[in-house]
Structure 1
């Protein structure tokens, strides 16, 4: 499998300041976990900007992105953005920083291979354009699909991949083929010059080290959610068993205490009877005397 390439491996490291057209900042060497969270920060920032906000505190942005504020501040410090005490972060320049780091200011061309049900839906997804991408080419091996217009774009045959990738300057591809065809198509894409693949096919791809692959398996995600549901059920069952055990212990304790009280009461009655009997005997003895 491929390995993620970093700015350090590409020979460029450093911190990023404000992004301006006249100056290209050094590219930071970011931890993979930070890279994975940047899109969430960007989504939250876009929403805040659309609702009329110019600044946001680290706590507010962290809450909107679903992370803790300490983690957010550390992530943004990798970009050289530390905010202003008492004010927070200026939204517009921070959006520009993150978009630059993610390469979204380039409006990258993307190829989509496989226009079945899933591929068809992906081809019509309007969110790609608003996030810095354009679907530049659609491919399928099914001749009955070739020529079909999806969102204004004609489906090409997979044999045209080398020509179109070169013409459109495509470096990213989305793979939505059946599992059995995925590896062969990935080989075609890599040979044509594609260096990043988003793989929806339920199969592990073997690609050169310089090619990055991100795998999206919906069944795996559902299985992970199933684990969480199972764990919650198990915990609820354990809580109920524990509650039942506590209630049983409380009842047993109450019965034991009641039994002890009964024993104590019987002891007192016995003492009273003994005292009465003793008095009676003493009385008889007095009479006899």
Structure 2
């Protein structure tokens, strides 16, 4: 299962190019030609580069070193990065700080993204209390639920809001990213409401396919599906 921030980054990347870059049709076309699987690896590279810089104090690295650490071929890393330009130098490899800056720009992490979380159950509770998102560009700023017993409850530094106020809050705060952690039977309704008020990037934990209009990017995170995929390889 992909980490929360990695999955959201994919949807944010595609949404950002499809909307903010609509004035440059060539740039939008190029962005859309880049395979989603490539976009999905960029946050992994960013995470490892950050670890190299902050935890190990390294200045330079190479596609070979990154590949060994991540279990990805050096050729694949070079090919992925080549979609966005030339970042390395022969003999010295990649300057880590520079490549981090470039990846953050590519992934639109030069700003902090406010995130609306819908669903204050066990999963929503865990997401609200996880502080690992902040230094990766995301802040869960609002939590919504329809359970009277949960509305008004404090989760970390946030207060659970009534889902009836969802449209008003999202519109007022111009939120573009949302996470859905609700039961399957209401997930489509919540999705429709989010899209109506301008949400353009959605990560859904609901175990159901959701329909969204063109221009809205949606990703799914279903741990059961991932486990079922892995059992195929068990003998």
TMscore range, shorter length: 0.7 to 0.9
Q: RCO greater where, 1 or 2, for CA within 8 Å and sep 6 or more?
A: 2
Structure 2 match to 1:38 = 42
Higher strand share: 2
Q: Deviations over 1:40-96 (max 9, x none)?
A: 100110010011101001100122232100010111112213411111100011001
Following the alignment from structure 2 to structure 1, what is the Cα–Cα distance between the partners of residues 17 and 182?
A: 31
TM-score, length basis structure 2: 0.86
Following the alignment from structure 1 to structure 2, what is the Cα–Cα distance between the partners of residues 173 and 186?
A: 9
| Structure 1 residues 130 and 54: alpha-carbon distance in aligned structure 2, compared to 1, 3 A threshold | same
Q: 1:193 is paired with a residue of what secondary structure? A: coil
CA contact (8 A) 2:115 2:138 kept: yes
RMSD between superposed Cα atoms in Å: 2.1
Structure 1 match to 2:4 = none
CA contact (8 A) 2:61 2:96 kept: yes
Give the greater-gyration-radius structure (CA). 1
Number of matched pairs: 217
Q: Map 1:201-212 to 2 at 5 A.
A: 201-212=206-217
Structure 1 match to 2:156 = 151
Structure 2 match to 1:276 = none
Gaps of 5+ in 1: 15-25, 234-289
1:5 to partner: Cα distance: 5.6
TM-score, length basis structure 1: 0.71
Structure 2 match to 1:98 = 103
Of stretches 56-65 and 141-150 in structure 1, the one that deviates more from structure 2 is 56-65
Following the alignment from structure 1 to structure 2, what is the Cα–Cα distance between the partners of residues 54 and 75?
A: 21
Structure 2 match to 1:140 = 145
The one of 150, 154, 170 equivalent to 1:165 is: 170
Q: 2:218 is paired with a residue of what secondary structure? A: strand
Q: Deviations over 1:252-271 (max 9, x none)?
A: xxxxxxxxxxxxxxxxxxxx
Gaps of 5+ in 2: 1-10
